[in-house]
Chains A and B, each alone.
Chain A
């Protein structure tokens, strides 16, 4: 077995259980980029990112914000004439970069994903205010004031509970999680 592996094969391995066709089937038609509502905020459009992967430009791909700008709307996935699950590929790239700890600096996406998952593993439920520290300071003083105004408005309307919820069977829930991710002693 050959152990020399292209970047495209590495990504194919992360996506081995995906339900779409391999990304090497890409025709470079650009339907994904034309469809993507976030394309103009990406360093490279979805079409370009697939081209870069298939051509082996690993550093460029990992340094880009493209997959962290994907909103998971799946519009590209349902329109791709080559049957590639492009949104799933964006998730695969997120995983690849998270596991390697290599991503563009200053992005909120990776920090947010970590905080979110940690919150669920700790409590079983999500609670918006606990996530605020991951992003609230990133948009400068004006952004902070806007966030506070928004939060206060929601609080006054009874739309922000004061305390986070927890599920009741938390201990067993956490043991369940540890059977999937084997870190920490089962209790």
Chain B
């Protein structure tokens, strides 16, 4: 079965770019443009990886969604790669400081714009790690 990736991001241009990179590498990609639709899609389907934006809707909703996913029995093992332009969007609040790399345990984070090569590396290493973890669990 084909590897399925869910992407939750409100920027249509960015989504189109990432989706085409991933599809060229034979991943199947579904997209939602706000946290509510995204969470519903995750619950309804089966996904191997989530690509998640931070600034959506009212504000830094990606953080809230990542935390919610970590608490969801069905979704908590799913690897999450956060792709964010957070610093550009509201960097004035903490000038010169970096984005927390792990605001939820096991998250990975990259900042926009993202190099296709780096994106594909991160995606495949997260998928491999998740696979490894699955096999360790007995039964």
Contact = CB atoms under 8 A, between A and B. Distances in A.
Interface of A: 1, 3-5, 9-10, 13-17, 95, 98-99, 101, 114, 117-118, 121, 178-186
Interface in B74-92: 85-92
B10 A10 contact: yes
B1 interface: no
Contacts of B88: 101
Contact of A178 (B19, B41, B100): B100
B57 A182 contact: no
A139 B31 CA distance: 47
A180 B63 contact: yes
Nearest to B101: A182
A182 B99 contact: yes
A15 B59 CA distance: 11
B130 interface: no
Given A5-B12, A99-B55, A114-B92, A17 B36 contact: yes
A3 B12 contact: yes
A3 B57 contact: no
B128 interface: no
B31 to A, nearest CB: 5
22 contacts: A1-B32, A3-B15, A5-B33, A10-B12, A13-B34, A13-B57, A16-B34, A16-B57, A17-B57, A95-B58, A95-B59, A114-B92, A117-B93, A121-B93, A180-B60, A181-B59, A182-B63, A183-B94, A183-B99, A185-B98, A185-B100, A186-B100
